[in-house]
Amino acid sequence: MNEEMNLEIRRLGKEDILDLKTLMLDVMSRLPSQDHFAMDEEDYFHDYVLENGEIYGAYLGGSLAAYSVLTFPKRSEHNLGREFWVPESELSHAAFLEATVVHESARGRGLQRHFHRLREKRARENGCRYLFSTAHPDNHVSIRNLESEGFSLAFTRLMYGGKPRHCYVKRL
C-alpha cells in the first residue's frame, strides 16, 4: 500500500487484462482527440506484453484506477531502439515505457512519475541501458513528466497508424 498516494500498486497478470482494457476504453472515451492515445488490443497484452514485459496497476478503493506498461522488446520489430540509431548488438539492452493510463479519479497524485521511476528501476535491474518513450505533442502532462525524469526529445514523427509522436530517450 502506498500511503502517500492512498493507492495499492502491484504488478498485473493475465487475470487483470480485462480490467485494464475496461479502464483504457473508459479513459480514452474522454480524450480531447483519439490521436492522443494509441490503443492496444487485448491480444497485444496477452501475446506480447506479458511475455516481454511488465504491467503495473494502481488500485483506488479496490478498483483499477491506473496502469503502466514496460516492455523489453529485445530484437523484435517492436524495438524502438532502431528508430534511435541504437546498434543492433545493443537492442537487447533497450526497454520501452509504453502506455500509462490514469483515471480522472486518481489524477494529480504523481502516479505517472511514480510509474516512470518504478519502470526505470525495473529496466536497470534487467540490465537495460536505454529507455524509450513516446508522447503526443499536445500531451503536455506526459511531456513534462518525461522531461522531469531525465528523458530527452530525440525527434517527432508519425507513428501508430499516423498519429504524431514526440520520441524520447534516456540513457541509463
Q: What is the pTM of this model?
A: 0.89
Q: pLDDT tens-digit profile of 122-156?
A: 999 999 999 999 999 999 999 999 999 999 999 99
Q: Quick: pLDDT tens for 48-98.
A: 888 899 999 999 989 999 999 999 998 888 788 888 889 999 999 999 999
Strand (E) or helix (H) holding 120: helix 111-125
Burial of 78 (0-12, 13-18, 19+ CB in 10 A): middle
How high is the pLDDT of residue 1? Answer: 43
